[in-house]
Structure 1
Amino acid sequence: MDGRDEKSARTALFEEHRPHLRAVAYRMLGSISEADDALQEAWLRYDRTDTAEVANLGGWLTTVVSRVCLNLLRDRAARREEPLQPTGPGGESGPERLPDPLLRREGVVDPEQEVMLADSVGLALMVVMESLSPAERVAFVLHDMFAVPFEEIAPLIEKTSAATRQLASRARRKVQERPAPDRDLSRQRLAVDAFFAASRTGDLEALVAVLDPDVVLRSDGGAALARHTLVLTGAATVAGQAAMWGKLSPFARPALVNGTAGAVVIADNGRAMSIMAFTVVDGAITEIDVIADPERLAAFDLSAFRDRPADDRPARP
């Protein structure tokens, strides 16, 4: 095999593992661009390493990507600032950033997303994972989501196997504190449709009825609160934003956000206004995550949602 053929064969082997590696990186980082950067770094390390004697190339590549992600998480933690304290009733501090959502139209199959979301990694779960320490997150993602043995994870995070097991257990408890969302997509969509319908008509009573009493709303705040997350809690407080929801609802297009019912809000002039992810438990909305920062919205390809007909909206009077 000449040099070009060998290069082509090595590239093909890496590409076979790319969907899995991207899923690992996305779940660890919660950032699409950083996940792609991690894969590029992993490719560079693979390209300059002789892997002829590597018995399990997939496992080796997973370790390389995980190490790159761990370094990125540690860098992120080191430069993290105190989040802005929002004002107003029901406000509380939130994570510095909301994770990047994965978007697609309902009824459209995306094989790569299916790999990335094989365990129903909703955006709300990704938010919880933002609260984990770098070592906790790596241990939890690799063991609980990809079944990597603790003995293989321990050297990566420079812990013993027992300590690694404890880190994953602690992360698991944090994740399991939140109630399990409804799996039925039609049940999710009913709640989201009801939310937009009540918002559009200004029916506060109907809006409160579709919200869990302890609903949590998180928003990146748009340009006004860039890099910080605003958090509002309680059905009355969230419903109190009905005027804003009412303005958005006529422009909301149905979308799957990390595999769950959500919406992409696009004005008539084609300007993206927000991406909204909903968590529905027992038919009630328990969490709403809103991406409204124009710079973040500009990074998403929303062309699939701009051509939706005007009457194909979640909100129905």
Structure 2
Amino acid sequence: MGSARTSTDGTADERRQLINVAYRLLGSVTEAEDAVQDAYARWYRLPRSRQEEILSPGAWLTTVTGRICLDLLGSARARRERYVGAWLPEPLPDRTEWGHAGGGSTGPADPADQIVLDESVAMAFLVVLESMTPAERVAFVLHDVFRYPFAEIADVLGRTPVACKQLAASARRRVGVDRAPVTATGRADVVRHIKEAWETKDIAALVGLLDPAAVMTADGGGMVGTVLRPVEGGVRIAQYMVAIAVKAPGLELLERSVNGVPGLVAQRAGVVMTVASFDVSEGRVTRVWAVRNPEKLRPWARESQPDGFVGIRPPRGPAGGR
């Protein structure tokens, strides 16, 4: 193979793409950053002569990052078994809404800032990815989201291109496409009505906004109080939300994008306590995902609300109790 680039020429530009790939594969900004760092470390450990033999450092880094993520996904089951309560992907803020605290741009870039917020990072989509086998997830994300050819995916998975195509097809069936899409405006309206009903402790309004079969899942990671098991049924979720509103007043509830989709952020004294995502179908909320684990809220905890924004004081997000 001929020489195309040197060890310092061209590889840095790949980092943003690799972070985007790794986050969708792992659902964790921290793990994605670690995987990409590991891939770069392996690149720079290669002898210069070996680097010069590699025609596309970007393709090499993608392959290595994919393999690292595959290994991490393979060990995730054991790690999730030790996790306290439900595990949810790390939520991401929209930087156009949620600016850097202090307004400065010095220091290293936050990996979360490099992730493109599109439908492939919506919480509903990431949760579906969690239901896939590691090989299905890698094949599906690399092909359907990033349009890598199956010949390259085969190098990541150590399987034939035909087998990778079958894995992606199996994963695609898990995603499903039978629901009518919800417009951003329609979703935002539903989330706004949820917020208003929660603020006023209007249980009847909440029940009307929640699908009868809705499910709420909260992730505290054993670090903060929250429900350890999903709350099932619109009525039970509404009752739980109102009970929390009574017991824990005083938080500000902000309408903010969460992974590119309208959501709610609860904070106290400028500290984010809960980030909630919603899945909406036919004008009703079908799923609620509430992330309270402080380690997963670091992209939010370092930020401050935009100047001039006046927060309101609704109840606390899903927290405490069983």
SS at match of 1:23: helix
Which residue of the partner structure matches residue 94 of structure 2? 104
More displaced 10-residue stretch of structure 1: 110-119 or 46-55:
110-119
1:286 equivalenced with 2:286 (yes/no): yes
Partner residue of 2:39 out of 27, 39, 42: 42
Quote the offset at 1:67 in angstroms.
0.9
Q: 1:82 to 1:173 in 2, by over 3 A?
A: farther
Quote the offset at 1:102 in angstroms.
0.9
User: CA separation in 2, counterparts of 1:283 and 1:39?
Assistant: 39
**Retained in 2: the 8 A contact 1:212–1:235?**
yes
Structure-to-structure mapping, 1:1-317, within 5 angstroms: 10-11=7-8, 13-49=10-46, 50-81=50-81, 96-104=86-94, 107=97, 116-176=116-176, 179=179, 181-182=181-182, 184-221=183-220, 223=222, 230-241=229-240, 242-245=242-245, 247=248, 251-267=252-268, 269-297=269-297, 300-305=300-305, 309-311=309-311
User: CA separation in 2, counterparts of 1:97 and 1:254?
Assistant: 23
Quote the offset at 1:274 in angstroms.
0.7
SS at match of 1:100: coil
Q: 1:115 to 1:154 in 2, by over 3 A?
A: same
User: CA separation in 1, counterparts of 2:226 and 2:311?
Assistant: 34
Q: Which amino acid aligns with 2:176?
A: Q
Q: 1:46 to 1:32 in 2, by over 3 A?
A: same
Q: 1:191 to 1:36 in 2, by over 3 A?
A: same
SS at match of 2:159: coil
TM (norm. structure 1) is 0.81
User: CA separation in 2, counterparts of 1:179 and 1:232?
Assistant: 23
TM (norm. structure 2) is 0.79
User: CA separation in 2, counterparts of 1:228 and 1:64?
Assistant: 38
Quote the offset at 1:270 in angstroms.
3.3
Quote the offset at 1:124 in angstroms.
1.6
User: CA separation in 2, counterparts of 1:227 and 1:235?
Assistant: 18
User: CA separation in 1, counterparts of 2:136 and 2:95?
Assistant: 33
Identify unmatched segments of 5+ residues in structure 2.
100-109, 316-322
User: Aligned pairs, how many?
Assistant: 296
**Retained in 2: the 8 A contact 1:211–1:284?**
yes
SS at match of 1:309: coil
SS at match of 1:103: coil
SS at match of 2:305: helix
Quote the offset at 1:264 in angstroms.
1.5
**Retained in 2: the 8 A contact 1:196–1:245?**
no
SS at match of 1:97: coil
More displaced 10-residue stretch of structure 1: 204-213 or 138-147:
204-213
Quote the offset at 1:73 in angstroms.
1.2
Which residue of the partner structure matches residue 89 of structure 1? none
**Retained in 2: the 8 A contact 1:199–1:249?**
no
Q: 1:97 to 1:180 in 2, by over 3 A?
A: farther
Q: Which amino acid aligns with 1:169?
A: A
RMSD: 3.3
Q: 1:71 to 1:311 in 2, by over 3 A?
A: closer
Q: 1:308 to 1:258 in 2, by over 3 A?
A: farther
Quote the offset at 1:36 in angstroms.
0.4
**Retained in 1: the 8 A contact 2:272–2:301?**
no
Render the CA deviation track for 1:65-109: whole Å, top value 9, x for unaligned.
Answer: 10111111112234442887xxxxxxxxx8x41001111256579
Q: 1:308 to 1:14 in 2, by over 3 A?
A: farther
More displaced 10-residue stretch of structure 1: 24-33 or 197-206:
197-206
Q: 1:222 to 1:53 in 2, by over 3 A?
A: closer
Quote the offset at 1:19 in angstroms.
1.1
User: CA separation in 1, counterparts of 2:200 and 2:312?
Assistant: 17
User: CA separation in 2, counterparts of 1:314 and 1:180?
Assistant: 32
More displaced 10-residue stretch of structure 1: 290-299 or 305-314:
305-314
Q: How much identity, in percent, do the aligned residues show?
A: 38
More displaced 10-residue stretch of structure 1: 275-284 or 106-115:
106-115
User: CA separation in 2, counterparts of 1:158 and 1:222?
Assistant: 34
